[in-house]
Amino acid sequence: MAAITLDRIVKKYGDGFPAVNDVSLDIKDGEFVILVGPSGCGKSTLLRMIVGLEDITDGDLSIGGTRVNDKAPRDRNLAMVFQNYALYPHLSVFENIAFPLRLAKGKHSDDEVRRRVDEAADLLELRDHLERKPANLSGGQRQRVAMGRAIVRQADAFLFDEPLSNLDAKLRGQMRTEIARMQRRLGTTTVYVTHDQTEAMTLGDRVAVLRKGELQQVASPRELYEEPVNLFVAGFIGSPPMNFLPAQLEGTTLSLPFGAVEITPDVAERARGAEFLIAGLRPEHVEDSETLEGPRRDRGVTFDVDVDVTEWLGNELYAYVPFSPDERVAAKLAELDKELDGESMRHQMVVTLDARSRVRDGDRARLWFDPASLHLFDPSSGLSLTRDEDRAREIQVDSEAMRQQALERSRAHAEAVGQGAPA
C-alpha cells in the first residue's frame, strides 16, 4: 500500500493539445479516489499515466514517496482493471488470476500460487469457475476475474478504468457494492475512473472532477453535492442534475423565472455588479407545497408554475416545468449542457416531488423550496457565489474522520480474522 502523489501533471499529445493540464492530487494511503468527468475530460489518460501506460509530459508522479515517472508499468507494482477486462482468452480463470504471480518467477511456490488464487477466488466467489475459459463466462464473472487478477498480487494500489461500464444496470449496482466491500476489506489505495456520477458518489472517499483536462474540485461526495465550487461541478454531480435558472439581482431580492426570493446580504454583496446570474436549484430541494407540513413549509417560499409532464416512479415523482430564459443565459446554459455531455432540447426545470403529490401533466401546481438551498453562480467565471468555505472545511474534516474510522474497522476486522492487516 502506498500514497500516490500527482504534482502538476501535464499530458500533451503530438499536436500540443493538453489532454491533462496541471493536475495536482494527493491520494492518501488506503484512500478510494474517483476521477470523474464527461467523456474526453482526460480522466482515463490520467489513470494510464499513473499506471505507466502513457508517458508523462511534465510534472512529477510519486508512489509511496518514490518518483516513478520513468519506471515501466511492471516496476510500479500497481494492479489495474481494464474497461474491457482484458482477460487472457487462452488461459483458464485460474491461470488468468495466477498470471501476475507466475510472472514473478521463482518468487512463489506452486502451493503458494494455488493458495493465493484460491483466496482471491473465494473473495470473489469464483471457486466454481476456476477451470473455465473466459469465453464461457458471463460479463459479471469476467469482471470478477479481472478483479481477481488485480487483488492476487498485493499491489500497492488498485486502478480501475470504468470497470462497470460494460455491465447491465442491475449487475452494475451489485458489482459496485462488491468493489466497495473489497476495497474496505483490503484497505488498498484505489483510483477509480468513471463517467457515472452515481459510482463516483457512492464509491469514493474523495472525488476529483475533471473538465477538459483540468481539475475542477477534489472533495468528498458530500462536499461536492452541497458546496460545489462552480457551475460545472454543480451540474455534473446529482441526478437528476441541478436546474440552472436565469436570475437577476436587485438589492437582496433575486428574481427567478417563477418568482422572487430574498437572499442573504453577504451573498448579495459578492454578486453585486453582475448583470445577470445563474441560480442552481436541485430537483430534490423542491417540494409540492400540498404534501408539506407546518414548520418546514414556513421556512421556504412557494410559487405557482405550469407543469408540462410528470413521471411517477413509485418512490418519487418527477415534474417538468418549462421556462424561457433570455438569450445570454440561454447561450451560457447551452454551452454548459454540451460540456456535460447533455443533449437537452428545451429549457425546463426538473423537480423531484413526494410520490404522494397529486400533480399531473398540464396541472398548475404550487411548489415550495427553501432559499437557503439555492446556489448562485457568476455566469462569466462560472464560480459559485454561495459556497461556504467554513462549512466545506467542516465537511472535509468530518469525511476524513469517517474514512479513518472505516479503515480502522477494516484493520481490526482483518486482525480478528487472523489474516493480519494487509501489508
Residues that bind other proteins (CB under 8 A): 51-53, 72-74, 78-80, 82-90, 99-100, 103-104, 133-139, 142, 149, 153, 166
Smallest distance from other proteins to CB 135, Å: 3
Q: What is the DSSP string of 120-146?
A: HHHHTT-GGGTTS-GGGS-HHHHHHHH
Of 137 and 233, the one with the shorter C-beta distance to other proteins is 137
Query: For residue 48, what is the enclosing H or E element?
Result: helix 43-51
Minimum CB distance to other proteins, residue 90 (Å): 4
Cβ at position 102, least distance to other proteins in Å: 8
CB 127 to other proteins: min, Å: 19
Q: Decide whether 133 or 184 has the Cβ nearer to other proteins.
A: 133
Q: Based on CB atoms, which residue is closest to other proteins, 156 or 227? A: 156
- Is the Cα dihedral 341, 345, 349, 354 positive or negative? negative
Q: Which is nearer to other proteins, 189 or 243 (CB)?
A: 189
HSE-CB at 284 with a 13 A cutoff on CA atoms is: 9
Task: Note whether 249 and 357 are within 8 A (CB).
Answer: no
Residues 6+ away with beta carbon under 8 Å from 169: none
In the complex, the smallest distance separating the C-beta of residue 104 from other proteins, rounded to whole angstroms, is 6
For other proteins, the closer CB: 136 or 380: 136
Least distance (Å) from other proteins to the CB of residue 103? 4
Distance CA 164, CA 17 (A): 29
Strands 277-281 and 364-369: unpaired
Nearer of residues 108 and 222 to other proteins, judged by Cβ: 108
- Between CA 247 and CA 272, with CA 368 as vertex, the angle to 5 degrees is 25
